Amino acid sequence: MAARFARHAQALDRLQERGRLRQLLPRKGQDFASNDYLGLADSDVLRQAAGDAIARGVPVGAGGSRLLRGNADEHQQLEDEAAAFFGTQAALFMGGGFNANMAIFSTLPQQGDLVLFDALIHASAHDGMRLGRAETRSFAHSDVQAAGDAIAAWRNEGGAGRIWIAVEGVYSMDGDIAPVSDLFQLAQQHDAVLVVDEAHSTAVMGDLGRGVAHAVAHHKNVLCLHTCGKGLGVSGALICGARVLVDTLINKARSFIYATAPSPLNAALVRAALREVAENHDLRRRARATVDHAHREAARLCGLSGFQSQIMPVIIGGDKPTMALAHGLQEIGYDIRGIRPPTVPRGTSRLRLSITLNTDAGVISSMFSDLAQLRQDFT
């Protein structure tokens, strides 16, 4: 049996040698790794919502795809409430952000169209584009002028279809914020569709936590993806936009049509999370204060600056020193993970520090103090 899978074993050995072997680690230590930005995942709010939903008879399982018997009242109510909250014509609930991006990019851009994507767009968008029929091109990260130049070049080469501009609201590994307003103006200029993955901005950024693109989300040429497993503390994803686009996904997106529906109980929990985010304004105030404190302490204790959000990348460079530093911080009680290629570009391996309401100001200060010391030892 070992000989039969020798190539697999050798590939794993090479990853080990390069410091890139991935392993599943348990939850341990102070949370600087999760995307539970508002601390909702283990909250009494969602625990109570789960009990209430079960008590009123909400099913735990869906029992089938949404197009068969899997379509529950909780799914429909969530989609109606999400569309109203995010300010769009319609919303579609899916099992996760990866599947949702697969659905968007494999289904909506048509043959003859162009998907113009930010160079740091998420892997799920890349996989969706590979399954789609549209041409794809990248532009330099958050460079609106480069995006405009790419559009002009494509048109000059004879490109005649629709253009789909794909970006993230907050970039998952760099933590910087997309220039959504300028990108929307570019989309308007070229009759393009702007697709914004709000995974790391949902519940955290924008008016009432409605994302960085909320001011333009009501336009029919804007499509937003709001994942439910980060700031909202549950799981799943909501694709929000024009009714015609949502109906197209229902009819043609394979990752929607052929997937068992998300749990109706999960939909009920997302509904509760959306209500909490809309009504509890103190959540975002406390989250913002915690993030601001982390930014100040990073500068004071480590000389690190330039952060824009709750995601704070500390670039180390090499794979092995990055993982050694992460392990050292884990040993003294901080759940901090190292991020390596291909998730990030070569030579930019990093610690991805995630600031959430699960960790208080004192722990954050202690972590940056320890990080300052260990950086000298491991890099």
Q: Which of 99, 101, 106, 172 is catalytic?
A: 172
Catalytic residue among 142, 230, 295, 349: 230
> Which residue in 197, 198, 276, 335 is the catalytic one?
197
Residue 345, Cβ density class (10 Å: 0-12 exposed, 13-18 middle, ≥19 buried): exposed
Active site residue 35: yes
- For residue 347, give the nearest of 324, 379, 318 by alpha carbon: 318
Identity of the residue numbered 120: L
The pair of structure tokens assigned to 199 is: 């995974």
Strands (E), the chain: 30-31, 90-94, 114-118, 135-139, 163-168, 193-197, 222-227, 237-241, 311-317, 334-335, 337-339, 349-354
- 141 flagged as catalytic: no
Whether residue 112 contacts residue 91, with contact meaning beta carbons closer than 8 Å, is answered with no
Q: How far apart are CA 38 and CA 230, in angstroms?
A: 8
Closest by CA position to 218, among listed 247, 250, 256, 184? 184
Please calculate the CA angle 148-153-154 and round it to the nearest 5 degrees: 100
Identified catalytic residue from 36, 74, 122, 297: 122
Given 75, 200, 214, 226, the catalytic residue: 200
Among this protein's residues, is 230 annotated catalytic? yes
**Catalytic annotation present for 172:** yes
- The CA distance from 105 to 191, in Å, is 18
Q: Is 74 a catalytic residue?
A: no
Give whole-number Cα distances, 196 to 121, 143, 164, 184, 205, in Å.
10, 15, 10, 10, 13
Active-site residues, by number, are 35, 122, 168, 172, 197, 200, 230
